[in-house]
Amino acid sequence: MSDWRIPLCEPDLGAEEEAAVLRVLRRKWLSMGPEVEAFEREFADFLGVKHAIALANATAALHLAYVALEIAPGDEIIQPALNFVAAANMTVAVGAKPVFADIVALEEPTLDPAEVERCITPRTKAIVAMHYAGYPCRMGQLAAICQRYHLALVEDACHAVGARYDAADGEVVSGMLGAIGDIGSFSFFSNKNMAVGEGGMAVTNRDDLAAKVRLSRSHGMTSLTWDRHKGHASSYEVILNGFNYRLDELRAALGRCQLQKLPLNNERRRRLVAHYRQRFNELPNWRVPFVDGRESACHLMVAVAPDAQSRQRALEALGQDRVQTSLHYPCVADFSAMSRWCNQSLDKTRAFQRRAITLPLFPSMKEDDVDRIVSVIARGR
């Protein structure tokens, strides 16, 4: 498909997925039905969360999270500028204002609780915690801030399916990422740890939020096509103004296969990241963020160069060796579509953007590939 020697990522799709798709085709029911129900149940069990609601993608999950939390025009949502743009775009979609807070450090590129607290105003309604690369944010501190100021905690857990947060000393908050805050979002886009093409999930332990997300997913209608097909309902009422954010059966069937494979695939990712970390020890001025990957879903392998010039040399050397690289992420606050909002200082986010590099990471990758990549960077210095 591409002429990369080592691509950035590659989904694990095999005989299980082929069989699952055939099973759905032969059943001749394509839109939301029994596969979606089973996928939701299995995903909720895996996370130990009360409700999992399958959706068209994670952007829809973030949108419906804000809708269910009744975030309204004029409200503010504090969030990282080091993120994919979806959380900020959906903030604007509900008429609210994104307030971008800086990261803790280049070695810990997640939302800084002290910065978050500085950004709180009487209009603040929610905080979005994004578990960068699959590593947990400082959830104990963020949850404490939310409790103190009566704010909702939304987890953008798109990188973190299968990862945990264990309470630090003196904290009580712990659990699977995505299921700790009021509501969490997951993505099953092609390059994520679980890949179905396009798909997402909202998870929550709150019955009120789950009911609103379920209704909003399908036009605010009180019964679904599948219920009518089964003879459970012949008519419907519309009790809120919803959307069409449903997942279909083919993708749900793929999602069930991907969930089965996730624990082993995440373990493989952790081992590859451990190998990367070991090899990067040989490059004295380079850093691999976070201490280790034990609690991480290891979605991305990101290294931080000593400066922008070294990063540029590494990008060029890897490109010449046909190794695919990426940047997670350009600072969201600096996009022209976000320029209406003036924000706090984002010095660390911007420094990270100038020095970070995302390297290949996927379960079928080999240790030899890691060795090759780090050697190319070492030679390019």
Q: How far is the CB of 215 from ligand PLP (least distance, A)?
A: 20
Q: How far is the CB of 80 from ligand PLP (least distance, A)?
A: 9
The whole-angstrom separation of Cα 278 and Cα 281 is: 5
366 a catalytic residue: no
Q: Residue 254, interface with ligand PLP (CB under 6 A)?
A: no
> Measured from the CB atom, is 64 or 377 closer to ligand PLP?
64
Backbone angles phi, psi at 281, to 5 degrees: -60, -25
Residues 6+ apart with CB under 8 A from 245: 55, 56, 57, 60, 63, 64, 216, 217, 218
Which residues pair with residue 98 across a beta bridge? Answer: 77
319 with 327: CB under 8 angstroms? no
Q: Is 176 helix (H, G, I), strand (E, B) or coil?
A: strand
Q: Is 284 helix (H, G, I), strand (E, B) or coil?
A: coil
> Among residues 32, 59, 98, 338, which is the contact residue for ligand PLP, using CB under 6 A?
59
Q: Residue 39, interface with ligand PLP (CB under 6 A)?
A: no
Of the candidates 192, 212, 261, 348, the residue annotated as catalytic is 192
Q: Residue 143, interface with ligand PLP (CB under 6 A)?
A: no
Structure tokens given for 278: 């070991």
> Measured from the CB atom, is 200 or 360 closer to ligand PLP?
200
> Among residues 112, 156, 182, 295, which is the contact residue for ligand PLP, using CB under 6 A?
156
Q: Residue 54, interface with ligand PLP (CB under 6 A)?
A: no
Q: Is 67 helix (H, G, I), strand (E, B) or coil?
A: helix
Q: Residue 57, interface with ligand PLP (CB under 6 A)?
A: yes
Backbone angles phi, psi at 145, to 5 degrees: -65, -45
> Among residues 33, 109, 200, 289, which is the contact residue for ligand PLP, using CB under 6 A?
200
What b/e sequence results for 324-346 when a residue is b if at least 16 CB atoms lie within 10 Å of its CB, and e otherwise?
A: bbbebbebbbeeeebeeeebbeb
> Among residues 6, 52, 80, 83, which is the contact residue for ligand PLP, using CB under 6 A?
83
Site string for ligand PLP, 177-196 (x = CB under 6 A): ----------x-x-------
> Measured from the CB atom, is 140 or 184 closer to ligand PLP?
184
Q: How far is the CB of 381 from ligand PLP (least distance, A)?
A: 30
User: What are the DSSP calls for 184-195, one per residue?
Assistant: EEEE-BTTSSS-
| Interaction site with ligand PLP (CB under 6 A) | 57-59, 83-84, 86, 130, 156, 158-159, 187, 189, 200
Active site (catalytic) residues: 192
